[in-house]
């Protein structure tokens, strides 16, 4: 079975669960943290759009570590009031990036977790202050940091007695210039072996371009990422920073659905309690739904070909082969039970494609 083949991904050291305002990283779900690159005056509306798209948590950057000093540096403390309002209205926890020890002190008690950005990964006083705050810390990988350097930076937080650390891969500097950074998907399985800390992935700062974000996000989930951090804006072109890589809430929703389908198929089911077992069942049912939807589409194509070439709609011996093939992959169920399920699936798909053919015929859009 797929999950058995992928045991090396899922059976490495027990993962630590890090919980931020009720959102669990390192469990069976793949939470998505989303929001615009920076908090802007319309942030509350943005946050509601993120919640409606299915985000589990909000990006809420009020201080921006920009490459150039003349670029927008974030709304600062003025933005914090918007973040607090968005947090109350959406009920979602917020992730805020402090750039200094003073920021950590000012934000403690008002936010749910700290993000240490790539540029700050080796700012040791900042790491220590975030550690002392007791709040969970999302530690991004420096753009030219090795895994060992990244883990050593995490130790600065852990050394303060703060065990709530999540690592975030966000792309590294390589010779390639087509993308903003090169997403190092290898970080996920390699770190899985070296640390129990959850590992999440930010595809936005790796891609640098919105249309590449979904592929990188789902690649990260396939690799076993414990969550995603994504830049999204209701009107991407109007983003005050990183507009080129901001995805729409609709795309965000599609990524979240894709992750919910992929994750339970590709990883071990290590649920800790009933609610998590149910979450796994819900995700697997979503995956089943997505597979059924795709299968129905494939059957439509087969039926169109059959009509064109004059073949009969049903080929019972081929159906028996299909059922036996599936039954051989599901030893957990009896062949008879799989037969019942698959017969219903085959009937449903053929019925749907016949309905489609009739309505196409009636509207005169059938080309053959
Ligand atoms: C960010 O996520 O807001 C950010 C600045 O990214 P990075 O630190 O990875 O460059
Ligand atoms: Mn950004």
What distance in angstroms lies between residue 140's CA and the mean position of ligand 2's atoms?
A: 13
CATH code, residues 2-270 = 3.20.20.70
CA 239 to ligand 2 centroid distance, Å: 10
Please tell me the predicted confidence (pLDDT) of residue 363. Answer: 78
pLDDT (tens, 9 = 90+) of the chain, 368 residues, equals 555 555 544 545 678 999 999 999 999 899 999 999 999 999 999 999 999 999 999 999 999 999 999 999 999 999 999 999 999 999 999 999 999 999 999 999 999 999 999 999 999 999 999 999 999 999 999 999 999 999 999 999 999 999 999 999 999 999 999 999 999 999 999 999 999 999 999 999 999 999 999 999 999 999 999 999 999 999 999 999 999 999 999 999 999 999 999 998 887 666 778 888 888 898 889 889 999 999 999 999 999 999 899 998 889 999 999 999 999 999 999 999 999 999 999 999 999 999 998 888 787 655 44
Paired strand residues for 165 = 137
Give the number of the atom of ligand 1 that is nearest the alpha carbon of residue 231. Answer: 2
Residue spans per domain, the chain:
2-270, 283-363
Å from CA of 64 to ligand 2 middle: 8
Contacts of 210 (CB under 8 A, 6+ apart): 236, 244, 245, 246, 247, 251
Q: Point out the ligand nearest to the CA of residue 67.
A: 1
C-alpha 141 to ligand 1 mean position (Å)? 10
Smallest-distance ligand from the CA of 170: 1
Its sign, for the CA torsion 278, 281, 287, 291, is negative
Distance 63 CA to ligand 1 centre (A): 11
- Reply yes or no on domain 283-363 having CATH 1.20.59: yes
Whole-number pLDDT of residue 313: 85
Q: Report the nearest atom of ligand 1 relative to the CA of 97.
A: 3
Determine contact, residues 50/58, Cβ cutoff 8 Å: yes
**Residues facing 59 on adjacent strands:** 95
Are the C-beta atoms of residues 31 and 76 closer than 8 Å to each other? no
What's the rounded Cα separation, in Å, for the pair 21 and 19? Answer: 6
Ligand 1 binding pocket mutation candidate from 140, 187, 243 (most atoms within 8 A of CB): 140
Taking the alpha carbons at both ends of the chain, their separation in whole angstroms is 41
Is pTM beyond 0.75? Reply is yes
Task: Quote the pLDDT of residue 15.
Answer: 82
Give the model's pLDDT for residue 12. 54
Q: Where are the alpha helices (DSSP H) in the chain?
A: 2-5, 7-10, 43-53, 77-90, 101-107, 124-133, 147-158, 187-194, 204-207, 213-223, 249-266, 274-309, 316-329, 335-363
Q: What is the pLDDT of residue 13?
A: 60
* The predicted structure's pLDDT at residue 268: 66
For residue 138, report the phi and psi dihedrals to the nearest 5 degrees: -95, 110
The number of the ligand nearest the C-alpha atom of 239 reads 2
Task: With beta carbons less than 8 A apart as the criterion, state whether 224 and 10 touch.
Answer: yes
Residue minimizing CA distance to atom 3 of ligand 1: 37
Atom 9 of ligand 1, nearest CA residue: 118
The ligand whose atoms approach the alpha carbon of 59 most closely is 1
CA of 118 to the centre of ligand 1 (A): 6
Ligand 1 shell residues, CB under 6 Å:
37, 61, 65, 117-119, 140, 170, 202, 205
Mutate to test the pocket of ligand 1, among 99, 113, 119, 141 (most ligand atoms within 8 A of CB): 119
Task: Please tell me the residue having the least CA distance from ligand 1 atom 4.
Answer: 117
Helix, strand, coil proportions of the chain in percent (round to 5)? 55, 10, 35
Closest residue by CA, ligand 1 atom 10: 118
Closest ligand 1 atom to Cα of 38: 3
């Amino acid at each position: 079975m797929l999950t058995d083949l992928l045991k090396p991904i899922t059976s490495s050291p027990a993962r630590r669960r890090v919980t931020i305002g009720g959102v669990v990283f390192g469990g069976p779900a793949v939470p998505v943290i989303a929001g615009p690159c920076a908090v802007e005056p319309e942030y509350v509306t943005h946050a509601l759009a993120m919640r409606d798209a299915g985000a589990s948590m909000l990006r809420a950057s009020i201080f921006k570590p920009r490459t150039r000093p003349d670029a927008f540096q974030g709304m600062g403390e003025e933005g914090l009031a918007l973040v607090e309002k968005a947090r109350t209205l959406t009920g979602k926890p917020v992730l805020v990036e402090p750039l200094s020890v003073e920021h950590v002190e000012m934000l403690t008690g008002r936010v749910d977790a700290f993000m240490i950005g790539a540029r700050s990964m080796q700012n040791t006083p900042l790491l220590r202050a975030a550690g002392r705050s007791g709040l969970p810390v999302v530690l991004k990988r420096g753009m030219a940091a090795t895994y060992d350097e990244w883990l050593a930076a995490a130790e600065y937080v852990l050394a303060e007695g703060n065990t709530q650390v999540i690592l975030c891969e966000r792309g590294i500097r390589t010779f390639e210039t087509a993308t903003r950074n090169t997403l190092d998907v290898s970080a996920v399985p390699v770190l899985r072996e070296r640390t129990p800390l959850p590992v999440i992935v930010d595809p936005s700062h790796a891609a640098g371009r919105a249309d590449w974000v979904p592929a990188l996000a789902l690649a990260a989930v396939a690799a076993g990422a414990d969550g995603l951090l994504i830049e999204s804006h209701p009107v991407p072109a109007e983003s005050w920073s990183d507009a080129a890589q901001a995805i729409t809430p609709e795309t965000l929703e599609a990524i979240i659905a894709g992750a919910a389908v992929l994750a339970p198929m590709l990883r071990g089911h290590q649920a800790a309690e009933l609610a998590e077992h149910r979450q796994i069942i819900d995700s697997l049912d979503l995956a089943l739904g997505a597979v059924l939807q795709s299968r129905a589409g494939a059957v439509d194509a087969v039926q169109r070909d059959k009509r064109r070439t004059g073949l009969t709609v049903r080929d019972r011996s081929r159906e028996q082969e299909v059922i036996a093939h599936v039954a051989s992959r599901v030893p957990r169920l009896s062949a008879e039970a799989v037969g019942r399920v698959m017969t219903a699936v085959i009937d449903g798909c053929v019925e749907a494609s016949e309905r489609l053919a009739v309505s196409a015929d009636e509207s005169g859009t059938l080309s053959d």
